Amino acid sequence: MARKATAQDVADLAGVSRSAVSLVLNGRASGHISLEKQKAVFAAAAQLSYTPNAVAISLRSQRTRTIGVLTWSSHAALPDPILRAARLRAHEDQYLLLLMDTGGDADRGQRQLETLRDRQVDGFLVVAPDITHYEPSELLLSLPTVLLNCVDPEGGLTSVVADEVEVGRCGAEVLLEQGHRRVGLLTGSLGDLHVALRVRGVGQAFVGAGLSPPTPVVAGRQIDDGYRAASQVLGEPDRPTAFICTAERLAVGAVLAAAELGVPVPDALSLVSLEDAEGLAPTLVPPLTSVHRPYAAMAQEAVAQLVARLADPVPAEVRQLLFHCQVHHRSSVAPPGEAGGRPASR
């Protein structure tokens, strides 16, 4: 393939000036260019498969229609469903995403922001894998920025997050409504904000029901962490009739432990996962009831906020957008009952 055609090529072929080409192709020809010449321009453009050079437009307009995305991964995976939805939404407005993975290193993140700035991104989107505080640097503040799944403690930046306390509350209420009273709470590190918020929510639900909140069993976030914690708790006398897991893989481990101990779910043990982003919960056996954050809608909203800011020079007010979670009822929750299951055999 030869070199891409330029507006000059189109102008030459159509027998008009470069500016005429620009005017016609951008729909600003009426009253300026004769109909005849307009047709000639369109024909020439089509013949040469002309499309404008986005880099040249960027230099001219001082806008790249590019959003710089700063993200990092918590354990194994990047927050994929979030980024997917964000990318899709951005495309709708002809924005492209330039993504940088800090790997959790703040200094590196700063350098990446500089790279993004040098690339003349129009704005920044910061996407956290799990909800957290994020202190924006000056550079971040110098361009339109929206925080997704994280919040600026200073409150200086618009952010989009789910109500993680509500997540915990909803998950607990599902079990309380079914009559569960002895509930095991399998969690990740309590030092993580997202864990702390969910645990708080669980506690609120219990207190609201006139019960004392369950003591968190800090397990971790992997399958084997959940397996170990669940196995131990299930081996204790007066074992719980239900588990709440703050992480999806923890729930997988709990199901596995229950299966191995011959404790049928949900007959003898109910299970709620406070996460389902990896899509493990819905296809587990039995499918797990989970508390769902509307990640796609959140990402769309975050991008929409940013795009609006980029389109409108008037500085918009800072907003804290809080999304509600939804309980996805599946088959892992039942009333406590007396089913019991067979005793552990190993």
Partner DNA sequence: CTGAAAGCGCTTACAG
First and final CA of the chain: distance in angstroms? Answer: 69
The Cα angle at residue 171 between residues 146 and 150, in degrees rounded to 5: 15
- What separation in angstroms does the CA of 298 have from each of 46, 166, 173, 259? 40, 16, 24, 36
Q: Residue 78 CB, nearest distance to a copy of itself (Å)?
A: 6
114 binds a copy of itself (CB under 8 A): yes
Interface with DNA (CB under 7 A), residue from 13, 20, 186, 269: 20
285 binds a copy of itself (CB under 8 A): yes
HSE value, Cβ hemisphere, 13 Å, CA-based, for 81: 14
CB 210 within 8 A of CB 176: no
Q: Which does 34 bind (CB under 5 to 8 A by kind): DNA, a copy of itself, none?
A: DNA
How far is C-alpha 340 from the geometric centre of its chain's CA atoms? 39
Amino acid code (one letter) for 31: G
Size of the site for a copy of itself (CB under 8 A): 59
Q: Which does 25 bind (CB under 5 to 8 A by kind): a copy of itself, DNA, none?
A: DNA
Q: Which does 316 bind (CB under 5 to 8 A by kind): a copy of itself, DNA, none?
A: none
Amino acid code (one letter) for 112: Q
80 binds a copy of itself (CB under 8 A): yes
140/197 with CB nearer a copy of itself: 140
Strands of the sheet containing 216-218, edge to edge, are 216-218, 183-187, 242-245, 270-273, 289-292, 326-328
51/326 with CB nearer DNA: 51
Size of the site for DNA (CB under 7 A): 29
119 binds a copy of itself (CB under 8 A): yes
CB 320 within 8 A of CB 158: yes
59/209 with CB nearer a copy of itself: 59
94 binds DNA (CB under 7 A): no
Q: Which does 284 bind (CB under 5 to 8 A by kind): DNA, a copy of itself, none?
A: a copy of itself
Interface with DNA (CB under 7 A), residue from 1, 2, 49, 61: 61
Q: Residue 37 CB, nearest distance to DNA (Å)?
A: 5
Task: Label residue 31 left, alpha or beta by phi (over 0 means left) and psi (-120 to 50 means alpha).
Answer: left
7/268 with CB nearer DNA: 7
Token digits of residue 126 = 């910061």
Residue 272: strand pairing partners: 244, 289
44 binds a copy of itself (CB under 8 A): no
Question: Pairing relation of β-strands 320-323 and 158-162?
Answer: parallel
User: Which residues contribute to the site for a copy of itself (CB under 8 A)?
Assistant: 1, 4, 51-56, 58-59, 64, 73, 76-78, 80, 84, 87-88, 96-99, 101, 114-115, 117-120, 138-139, 141-142, 222-225, 227, 249, 252-253, 255-257, 259-260, 262, 264, 278-280, 283-285, 287, 342, 345-346
